[in-house]
Chains A and B, each alone.
Chain A
């Protein structure tokens, strides 16, 4: 029955052949190749929970009197957006669970992108022919950050309103066009005419997700078309892919991973409270709370703003607020331009224009690894700087000392990190037997009481995986490789 229906479909669409190729797609077995899937599946959780939330959320700044079940708010004038956000948390069954799962999934989504990106970077998987896919990925990171900020702004609580206020100031700080751009976005001077919430809602639920889905399709399409990269190893060459097929092995793994991602997100959502908007209250432009930060993926911008000295340029009747423009516009602009252009920067630097399907070990490319570690450290330091007040309060040190620590540490520590990482990589490359599993020693005691150690035989599987550091190839190796063997392992030619 099923067979004949499928045959009917295939007779008309002819998809069986393509489907077969797809089901036979080979996935390398290294665990780090599945990091991107955390992002993929938390995106699915975001879509699912987001649809649920959109059923109850009202994107309107229209002022009403709150009459929900949270008593301290009873009778207060609030916006419909805020009232419906509190309402879906308190008066809709499992609404709070869904809202918290949505928020945690967003934090995990961007965290997973960062981890996946680090894996791709440190192993050199972005090199020719995969530069395009790298750019697609960085674009998704950028859109993910933007959409996270938009979603954070929608509940119209005190914390999110503060974020919108800061954003307006950042837009205004752009020379020449800033104030016009701010007026265009907000429909007038801040806080606008109540249209910013409907606009953010439209962007958050439709336009940006549609862009992300489009890029995601391109990301996965390119992945199938170009096939996976793989680590060096027995039977693995530039011309094949060794690993498990899509069906059944990878399908089982990835389905399990989908469940696990959902489970972890919902466990967090059930046990750890995130963004308790009922405690924050409705946003009013004249109110502010201390200790307000954006979500972590925006935290690095907040940190850059905090540690910037208050410089401004005044001349010819105009003011350019450098204290906002430099950290909040130019700094992220430089960072993302480096992200986008990295494959080309590196190719230009090394002169390596060859195709690469085999991955590098991070230690074999000290400068790249050092640059990556430097960027991660820079991001971490700037992110930490967004919690100057929390750190000062927690460790009971002067806020000014924390601020000055970060002003010095943010430029200095990443540079130290670079040289340290390069040095460690070089030391590792020169060391004998590094990364090898050490065979256990047997300790013997002779009849006279003398101790001696005897190394045991290497265990099966040891040794042959050990790889030599190779220089950047200047030609493509055409020598056919020996076949990979082993149950469940398949190899396809590219």
Chain B
């Protein structure tokens, strides 16, 4: 009467489902505690990629305030690269032309951000420069930065020395929510802004780039001075992005892109309801 034809496959699937889930449920995940590992790698693991002819650290006190001093020897090779790759738009002395803005006074950090994220050289002059694999290696990037910085010594955004070992994730989390989430979204996935501009995803940004972006305000992004966010707070945000946003604790399963209920709705309707309609078709016609 109660034929196994319906009940046994269903019960099997149910048990497979429940056991599959046990593997993903907190009870199983509790022991190995992914979160502290994540935090450890965020805190201590980051080292600044040192260029070959070592730039020196500027001597200053306080956590998060150290910057890179680019050596004089970088300026000449930097000028050569600048002449070859940048001067046609920005002008030979980086003071800008009708095609591109003046770079003097922006500082080495600004140049480092634009070049190391691949935004410069520009792919096309659309609404917003897009990030792509960087054209220059680390040393070449710093050489360009040194050349531009040499035009106006001591002004603009410096390249920070990032040390996240003392950063405070809790403070970084609340500062991120308050200052960044409104455009970059709370999961850091990024989103479209008005008029073709967009807030890019933060998942590939390095801590150095994050702090440089906070200080220089590239594109549509607001610029946060040290009066808005102290060096310590900027480091806390970089630590949060690096340790939590970039390595999210997706212990609930696949993260579905972190775009929220729209993705969840499609999964719920297409996979959830869709699968059950197939089940309905499978069971329904039997008598």
Q: Identify the A interface with B (CB < 8 A).
A: 29-35, 37-38, 69-76, 89-97, 100, 104, 107-108, 111-112, 115, 158-159, 243-244, 248-249, 251-253, 255-257, 259-276, 278-281, 284, 286-296, 299, 383, 386-390, 392-393, 396-400, 402, 488-489
Contacts and interface: CB of A to CB of B under 8 A. Distances in A.
A70 B173 contact: no
Contact of B24 (A259, A262, A270, A386): A270
Given A273-B252, A290-B183, A393-B198, A75 B170 contact: yes
Contacts of B259: 291, 390
Interface string B1-45: 111001101110110111011111111001001011001000000
Contacts, number: 298
Contacts of B14: 259-260, 262-263, 266
A115 B273 contact: yes
Contacts of A272: 252-254, 256, 264, 267, 271
A75 B272 CA distance: 38
Contact of A290 (B173, B182, B266): B182
B17 A263 contact: yes
Contact of B26 (A35, A91, A397): A91
Interface in B235-285: 240, 243-244, 248-256, 258-269, 271-273, 275-277, 279-281, 283-285
A35 to B, nearest CB: 6
B227 interface: no
Interface stretch (B46-54, B67-75, B95-103, B188-196): B188-196
Given A34-B280, A290-B191, A271 B20 contact: yes
Given A94-B22, A272-B253, A252 B1 contact: yes
28 contacts: A29-B286, A31-B280, A34-B280, A37-B280, A69-B33, A71-B169, A89-B252, A93-B27, A97-B24, A100-B252, A108-B268, A108-B273, A111-B269, A252-B2, A253-B6, A253-B284, A255-B10, A256-B9, A260-B13, A268-B267, A271-B24, A273-B255, A279-B187, A279-B258, A292-B186, A388-B192, A392-B192, A393-B191
B174 interface: yes
A123 B205 CA distance: 55
Contact of B186 (A281, A399, A402): A281
A264 B272 contact: yes
A483 to B, nearest CB: 17
Given A280-B186, A288-B181, A296-B265, 9 more contacts: A89-B26, A158-B186, A249-B287, A257-B10, A271-B254, A272-B254, A294-B261, A295-B264, A390-B192
B286 A253 contact: yes
A33 B286 CA distance: 12
Contacts of A398: 127, 192, 195-196
B20 A296 contact: no
Contacts of B281: 31
Contacts of A243: 287
Nearest to A295: B261
Given A94-B27, A270-B25, A104 B268 contact: yes
Nearest to B27: A93
Contacts of B253: 100, 269-273
Contacts of A290: 181-185, 191, 199
Nearest to B172: A72
A35 B283 contact: no
B170 A390 contact: no
B84 interface: no
B21 A72 contact: no
B280 A97 contact: no
B260 A159 contact: yes
A400 B178 CA distance: 26
A267 B21 contact: yes
Contacts of A294: 261
Q: Determine the main DSSP class of B at the interface with A.
A: helix
Contact of B36 (A71, A388, A393): A71
B26 A252 contact: no
Contacts of B184: 290
A105 to B, nearest CB: 9
A252 B2 CA distance: 6
B179 to A, nearest CB: 10
B252 A287 contact: no
Given A112-B276, A289-B177, A32 B268 contact: no
Nearest to B20: A270
B80 to A, nearest CB: 35
A274 B272 contact: no
A76 B182 CA distance: 20
Contacts of B177: 158, 281, 284, 287, 289
Contacts of A73: 170, 173
Residue picked from B177, B182, B248, most chain A C-beta under 10 Å: B177
Contacts of B272: 104, 107-108, 111, 264-265, 268
A288 B190 contact: no
A111 B268 contact: yes
A278 B194 CA distance: 29
B262 A299 contact: yes
A399 B194 contact: yes
A259 B284 contact: no
Contacts of A95: 26
Residue picked from B23, B26, B259, B281, most chain A C-beta under 10 Å: B26
Contact of B285 (A29, A278, A393): A29
A295 B249 CA distance: 22
Nearest to B198: A393
Contact of B191 (A100, A280, A390): A390
